[in-house]
Amino acid sequence: MRTILLVSFLILMTACASSGESAPPPSPTSIPNSAQAMLTEASPGDLEEQNSPSAAETPPAELEAADSEDPATRLMYQLLTTGGAELQESVNAIIESGDSRFIAVFLELLRANQIGIYSGIDYQENIAILERISSQPFGGDWPAWIEWYGGTELVPPPGFIGWKGQLLSAIDLGFGIFLQDDHPSTIRVEEIVWGGVVVDGIPALDHATMIGAVEADYLEPDEPVFGISINGDHRAYPLRILDWHEMANDTVGGVPVSLAYCTLCGAGIAFDGRASDGETYTFGSSGFLYRSNKLMYDRNTSTLWNQLTGEPVLGELVGSDIQLNLLPVVLTTWEAWLAQHPDTLVLDINTGYQRPYFPGAAYGDYFAYQDTMFPVWQRSDLLDTKERVYTLHIEGIPKAYPVSLLTEEQVVNDTIGDTPLVLIAARGEIYVDGESQRVGPVVYNAGGEVRAYNRLDDTFTPGPDADTVLDSAGRPWQITEEALLGPDGETAPRVNGHLAYWFGWYTFFPNTLIYESAE
């Protein structure tokens, strides 16, 4: 199925390129026929150039092979900078050496050949070399290669980060800004893969226009929205819009917020832009993925960040102990959010970008099937690949709660470490009847309305309605975005978590606990 999804993106891209401006734009993660097709179709003409690192900085100069003292580094660069007999001589030297560090190099060249940005070595020859030095039989199956490599302890030659940046600069010079040898990294750069778009090819919404609920006649009552409420400022971000942008930098209740949405791993996370180093950050989409998770970048330093953990992983800020704090966010239906917050604002559908903003258009087919679109090597079959889970990370302990169980039980009393919790999911799972640009009508699970609170020394049960729970004495407590409010003014504070696909959570937290039904 993963291959079918990738092929369908390619077909759509080709159709868009040949049918003129009236054709629908490609999905945000389209896999094009060539780099030129990607640059033509996937880069929106209305991007603000100053937001892209390729417009603000200059990538590092090309490394001359002779400048490196390491023979492996010189050979690696000669694969890009030479041709003819000289190139063949370098290839022969690598083969004869049997140096396993070059597996990563030829794996990058395999993908570069497939997407049309490298032709120095014939495609079939590249496959033959890769199979010979690795003793693996995956042929041209790039996802299989990536998943196999991820489970190894192989390392690339010295200078690989900058070399990879130079290779991918054929797509966007901004990639060379992100991938430099002097940048510290906490992740394996070999596992960073191109997601199919240029830097900011999935454009963030920066302080987008908000409108009142009465003006939002484009929304259906049962469609999903992300809801954020801070200091009495209530805002809704419909997924039909966020599917195409994956990032909303906004100010809510006086607080700078970055709502980072990884469509591929099913996680919408609200970060406080005021980081622990005293700086305020806003973010864009790098165009890169890591284990099918969005790598976002900050506009201050062009450091790459893990969207799921809120930590810098490659660049200037790595090693600084900086981290972003979570803010409360809930996924619910427009009808439910509006009932809870009648004075809410909501994104104007007129964003300034030309996109088909209807449910399921961008990713409906991906949401509807269990397969991942990009390779992920660290998996678990304890839950289905794309089972929706609500996730918490408390006292260094990660835990996943299947949304299906939460909505069945409605109120779950639990403890993580020394923190007593209550999770409330009284409105059931949310399903979307959408229309995919690639396959037509689709139905998919978008998650559910889940909130977590510190229950202090009490336990709770479902109340008479979805906005109320009962404590152990039978007294009603009101569910709000900040806390549970008791009848005598007591408060049980919100604990911030978020939804994700099971695979997306597990790949970064393989030691996660899983909630099982109390029954």
What pLDDT, on a 0 to 100 scale, did the predictor assign at position 107? 98
Tell me the C-alpha distance between 188 and 491, whole Å.
Answer: 44
Which residue in this structure is represented by tokens 């790098």?
Answer: 286
Fill in the DSSP letter of residue 280. B
What pLDDT, on a 0 to 100 scale, did the predictor assign at position 252? 98
The 3-state DSSP class for residue 330 equals strand
Binned at pLDDT 50, 70 and 90, residue 498 comes out as: very high
Task: Give me the residue spans of the domains in the chain.
Answer: 2-42, 65-158, 205-347, 364-514
Over pLDDT 70: what percentage of the chain? 87
Answer whether residue 6 shows pLDDT above 80. no
What pLDDT, on a 0 to 100 scale, did the predictor assign at position 69? 75
Binned at pLDDT 50, 70 and 90, residue 519 comes out as: low
Binned at pLDDT 50, 70 and 90, residue 323 comes out as: confident
Query: 186, 313 in Cβ contact below 8 A?
Result: yes
CA distances from 369 to 52, 365, 430, 444, 445 (A): 33, 7, 16, 8, 10
- For 439-452, the pLDDT digits (tens) are 999 999 999 999 99
- For 359-409, the pLDDT digits (tens) are 999 999 999 999 999 999 999 999 999 999 999 999 999 999 999 999 999
Answer whether residue 58 shows pLDDT above 90. no
- For 212-266, the pLDDT digits (tens) are 999 999 999 999 999 999 999 999 999 999 999 999 999 999 999 999 999 999 9
Tell me the C-alpha distance between 283 and 259, whole Å.
Answer: 9
Query: 402, 387 in Cβ contact below 8 A?
Result: yes
Q: What is the mean pLDDT of the chain?
A: 89
Binned at pLDDT 50, 70 and 90, residue 68 comes out as: low
Side by side, the strands of the sheet bearing 513-514 are: 498-501, 388-394, 397-402, 513-514
Tell me the C-alpha distance between 481 and 334, whole Å.
Answer: 16
- For 153-205, the pLDDT digits (tens) are 999 999 999 999 999 999 999 999 999 999 999 999 999 999 999 999 999 99
Tell me the C-alpha distance between 374 and 199, whole Å.
Answer: 18
What pLDDT, on a 0 to 100 scale, did the predictor assign at position 272? 97
What pLDDT, on a 0 to 100 scale, did the predictor assign at position 326? 96
pTM of the shown model: 0.89
What pLDDT, on a 0 to 100 scale, did the predictor assign at position 67? 56
Please provide residue 407's backbone torsions phi and psi, each rounded to the nearest 5 degrees: -70, -30
CB atoms within 10 A of CB 413: 16
Q: Looking at the DSSP assignment, which residues form a beta bridge with residue 238? A: 225
Answer whether residue 22 shows pLDDT above 60. no
Answer whether residue 338 shows pLDDT above 60. yes
Calculate the CA dihedral of residues 170, 172, 175, 176 and round it to 10 degrees: 60
Query: 284, 330 in Cβ contact below 8 A?
Result: no
- Mean pLDDT for the stretch of residues 330-345: 98
- Mean pLDDT for the stretch of residues 126-130: 97
